[in-house]
Amino acid sequence: MISLAATLRLALQALVRNRSRSLLTMLGVVIGVAAVIVTVAIGTGAKTSVANQINGLGSNLVIVIPGSVQTSGARTGNGGASTLTVQDGLAIAKLPGVSAVSPSVNVRAQLVTGGQNWQTTVTGVAPTYTTVRSWDVSSGRFFSQPETDEAAKVAVLGQTVVHQLFPDGSDPIGRTVLVRGVPFTVIGLLSAKGQSGAGQDQDDTALIPYTSALERLTGGTTISTLMVSAVDGDHIESVQSQITGLLEQRHGIVGGKADDFQVRNLQDIAQAASATASILGLLLAAVAAVSLLVGGIGIMNIMLVSVTERTREIGLRVALGARSAAILRQFLIEAVVLSTGGGAIGVVFGIAGAAAIAVFAHWPSSVSVSAVLLALAFSAAVGVFFGYWPARKAARLDPISALRFE
Amino acid sequence: MTPVVEVRGLRKVYAIEGGEDVVALRGVDLTIDPGEFVAVMGPSGSGKSTFMHIVGLLDRPTAGTYRFAGHEVSSLDADALADLRSRALGFVFQAYNLLPRTTAMENVELPMIYAGVPADKRRRAALEALDAVGLGRYAHHQPNQLSGGQQQRVAIARSIVNQPQLILADEPTGALDTASSEDVMALFGRLNVERGMTVMVVTHEADVAAHARRMVMFRDGNIVSDEPVREKALV
Ligand SMILES: Nc1ncnc2c1ncn2[C@@H]1O[C@H](COP(=O)(O)OP(=O)(O)O)[C@@H](O)[C@H]1O
Ligand SMILES: [Mg+2]
């Protein structure tokens, strides 16, 4: 009886004898597997980066934004109303289940130092902001409650602003920055945060006490956003409904009147985002699986042609003493070698492709070992599945007519 | 001495769909003893190849008995027949049937692979068989680098490499010129005389058959004559 190793050698010899055809046959699987690897890498990468960004925003976060308002028939979009006040924030902070609240007052402003200037979003916040956003300073310090109470002219700069205003690399702490002409002292620098899910540079910001922003920059009392941190994940829903009740009461919204604010839960946003990423990944994977299937059909097609073409050879092998099981095994191994070889080449191309997409398209991608193993196992299975029929056909050939075959 | 081949009342009928059955063999009796060199002759369609395929365990008779080396083979299953072909039979075909783009050496090794012979022993036996057919120097040539006569000699080396009890050749000179045909038949003669190999050659050419020592004549599925070959000089 012929050993498996010897059969493998016979199969490899047969494939090498038809080198170019073997390579072309592999092509379908190469493309299929490369597509699987790339799409899974992109899908996984997108999901992890969404998750990272959501976590980066601070866990257990509830965001309150002004709703739309209707002025003489024309409705503004969400955030168009200027209805949220500092007092709303203070009231929310007293709700059970709330651990911290920080208002945000956003102001587009030109920042000027000695020789440089830079336009950025100056955000007035409370000291609790570091907790709420889980975002700390990398050097210096954040402003304190007393500084907030007295509307101190102090600022904490994001990394992008630091680079723009202090390109020579000198230490910004203790320096003075003019914000709309008002001098602020830099007391701290924020740690780098990178891009947001929407592709915004989160480090392009400067934080000042919200009191300073209201008194010295906007001159009003309304705020852009309230960021509320629940004590833990289980309290998010109750905090949301309490905020809604409280604000409706404070804003005098009764009956069927529309709220002039919106309460959003970051977890929901996160889930929606990752669900979108999953569906995208699933779609891509389906496309990839179809191309792998087409590759498998290609293998079956070529193997069938090969069996017909090699009819005489098969007859000869039978005459020389090959059992039909040995013929079956050889052709099956040929198909599996083609598909798995194609799979291995596809993995190499897939990893290279994922890396290229990460570099050139700035799209996060991560190739997982399990995706590689799965792709290889799947391509081997494709070989067995699509190789079996041609192999059985070869094994069942009548040796005499096979030998007579022209 | 146990005969290598012993057939009695061998019949082979091909059922033709929508037509009359073709009777290829009509009750053939034949005994071949070890060391014989038999030529099977007859016009085209007389049943020679059919007979050879049954003797070579590639086909089964419709009726009759066949004892190969003393064993009744009709009860054996396909795998047992394959193993017997691998160990005890050697085939040579008109079209050489060498694997293309494969060296002479690897072609000769093929039957030993199916017989499960280990690699080092395979290589030695293959070289020895190639030497026996005078092609030791061509071990690493591929078929397309060899002449027709040389290719057929590689095929003969392949047929003897497992030391079979019977070598079967169906029109082995059919594709060769006269000189190469002479070479190939002389080679069968030497293998028969020097190594005591039992050889059965199917041919329809009298001067090819003249190399054998016994000539069996087929006509319409029957053996019509069976006699020793006269001295070659007389042909
Ligand atoms: N597979 C087959 N099906 C039907 N008829 C066949 C088959 N093989 C051979 N025959 C017929 O059997 C007869 C003997 O054929 P064959 O043994 O090939 O003769 P030879 O080798 O002497 O030329 C011929 O009439 C041929 O047509
Ligand atoms: Mg014939």
Q: Which atom of ligand 1 is nearest to the CA of B22?
A: 5
- Matching residue, tokens 């651990």: A99
With CA atoms as reference, the chain B residue closest to A9 would be B113
ipTM: 0.94
A174: left (phi over 0), alpha (psi -120 to 50) or beta: left
B24 lines ligand 1 (CB under 6 A): yes
**B90–chain A nearest CA distance, Å:** 7
Residue B234, pLDDT score: 43
Gap from A197 CA to chain B (nearest CA, Å): 59
**In this structure, how many other beta carbons lie within 10 angstroms of the beta carbon of residue B77?**
7
Whether the CB of B201 sits within 6 Å of ligand 1: no
- Which class for A359: exposed (0-12), middle (13-18), buried (19 or more C-beta within 10 A)? exposed
User: How far apart are the CA of B63 and the nearest CA of chain A, in angstroms?
Assistant: 19
Q: CB distance B83–A322 less than 8 Å?
A: no
**What is the CB-side half-sphere exposure of residue B80 using CA atoms within 13 A?**
8
Query: Quick check: CB of B180 below 6 Å from ligand 1?
Result: no
Give the separation between CA A17 and CA A10, rounded to whole angstroms.
10
Atom of ligand 1 minimally distant from the CA of B202: 21
pLDDT at position A185 is 93
Please determine, for residue A51, whether its predicted confidence score (pLDDT) is greater than 80.
no
The sheet carrying B22-32 orders its strands as: B22-32, B5-14, B63-68, B71-72
CA of B201: how far to CAs of A217, A344, B17, in Å?
A: 111, 50, 32
Residue B112's contacts (CB-CB under 8 Å, 6 or more residues apart) are B121, B122, B125, B126, B161, B162
CB contact under 8 A, A320 and B78: no
Q: At A373, list the tokens.
A: 């193993």
Residue B64: what pLDDT? 96
Flag whether pLDDT at A82 surpasses 90. no
A304 pLDDT exceeds 50? yes
Q: Which CATH number is B5-234's, of 3.90.870.10, 3.90.700.10, 1.10.10.10, 3.40.50.300?
A: 3.40.50.300
Sheet holding B166-170, edge to edge: B89-92, B166-170, B199-202, B37-41, B214-219, B222-228
Q: How far is the CA of B171 from the centre of ligand 2 (A)?
A: 7
Across A102-118, average pLDDT: 89
Region of B64 please: left (phi>0), alpha (psi -120 to 50) or beta.
Answer: left
CA-wise closest residue to A32 among A345, A307, A367, A264: A345
Q: Where are the domains of chain A?
A: 4-53+272-404, 61-265
pLDDT at A121 over 60: yes
Distance from the Cα of B93 to chain A's closest Cα (Å) equals 9
The answer to whether A105 and A244 have CB atoms below 8 angstroms apart is no
The mean-pLDDT minimum among A53-57, A192-196, A265-269, A274-278 falls in A53-57
Ligand 1 contact via B13 beta carbon (within 6 Å)? no
What token pair was written down for A270?
Answer: 């996160």
Query: What are the pLDDT digits (tens) for A122-166?
Result: 999 999 998 888 788 999 999 999 999 999 999 999 999 999 999
| Ordered DSSP codes for B84-147 | HHHHHEEEE-TT--PPTTS-HHHHHHHHHHHTT--HHHHHHHHHHHHHHTT-GGGTT--GGGS-
Extended beta strands in A113-198, E state: 117-125, 137-140, 154-157, 176-179, 182-190
> Which residues on B lie below 8 Å from A316 (Cβ)?
93, 97, 99
Determine the residue of chain A that is closest to B108 in CA distance.
Answer: A320
Measured between alpha carbons, how far is residue A81 from residues A93, A247, A253, B7, B213 in Å?
Answer: 22, 14, 14, 107, 115
Residue in chain A nearest B159 by alpha carbon: A320
**Residue B65 β-bridge partners:** B8
Query: To the nearest whole number, what is the mean pLDDT of chain A?
Result: 85
Cα dihedral A248→A251→A253→A258 (10° resolution): -90
B205 with B44: CB under 8 angstroms?
A: no
- Closest ligand 1 atom number to CA of residue B218: 22
CA angle A140, A146, A147 (to 5 degrees): 50
Round to whole Å and give the CA distance between B106 and A12: 13
pLDDT at site A56: 65
Percent of the residues in chain A that have a pLDDT greater than 70, as a whole number: 92
Q: What is the pLDDT of residue A328?
A: 96
Averaged pLDDT for residues A313-332: 94
Nearest to A333 by CA among A395, A383, A382, A389: A383
Question: Any idea which ligand is nearest the CA of B12?
Answer: 1
What pLDDT score was predicted for residue A362?
Answer: 74
Model confidence at A292, pLDDT cuts 50, 70, 90, reads: confident
Determine which residue's CA is closest to atom 24 belonging to ligand 1: B45
Q: Using the CB atoms, write b or e for A97-113: b if 16+ within 10 Å.
A: bbbbbbbbbbbebebbb
pLDDT at B235: 41
pLDDT, one tens digit for every residue, chain B (235 residues): 899 999 999 999 999 888 899 999 999 999 999 999 999 999 999 999 999 999 999 999 999 999 999 999 999 999 999 999 999 999 999 999 999 999 999 999 999 999 999 999 999 999 999 999 999 999 999 999 999 999 999 999 999 999 999 999 999 999 999 999 999 999 999 999 999 999 999 998 999 999 999 999 999 999 999 999 876 544 4
CA B78 – CA A184 distance, rounded (Å): 96
CA angle B182, B185, B191 (to 5 degrees): 135
Contact B58 A319 (CB under 8 A): yes
CA of B156 to the centre of ligand 1 (A): 25
Phi, psi of A2 (to 5 degrees): -85, 135
Nearest CA to CA, how far is B82 from chain A (Å)?
Answer: 5
Among A193-202, A353-362, A363-372, the minimum mean pLDDT is found in A193-202
CB within 8 Å: A17 and B101: yes
Ligand 1: residue whose CA is nearest its atom 18: B49
B46 contact partners, CB below 8 Å, separation of at least 6: B218, B219, B220, B221
Out of B100, B110, B116, closest to residue A17 by CB? B100
In angstroms, the CA B182 to CA B188 distance is 10
3-state DSSP assignment of residue B53: helix
Q: Which atom of ligand 1 is nearest to the CA of B50?
A: 17
Q: Which of A224, A227, A226, A232 is nearest to A96 (CA)?
A: A232
* Count of H-run helices and E-run strands, chain A: 13, 12
Q: Which of B10, B12, B14 to mutate to test the pocket of ligand 1 (most atoms within 8 A of CB)?
A: B14
Side-chain half-sphere exposure of A275, counting CA atoms within 13 A: 6
Q: Is B78 within 8 Å of A3 when comparing Cβ atoms?
A: no
Q: Which helix (H) or strand (E) holds A174?
A: none
Closest CB to B116 among A3, A316, A318: A3
CB contact under 8 A, A326 and B114: yes
- pLDDT for res A364: 73
Distance CA A302, CA A56 (A): 52
**Phi, psi torsion values for B231, nearest 5 degrees:** -55, 140
Interchain proximity B113–A325, CB inside 8 Å: no
**Which of chain B's residues have a Cβ under 8 Å away from the Cβ of A323?**
78-79, 82-83, 114
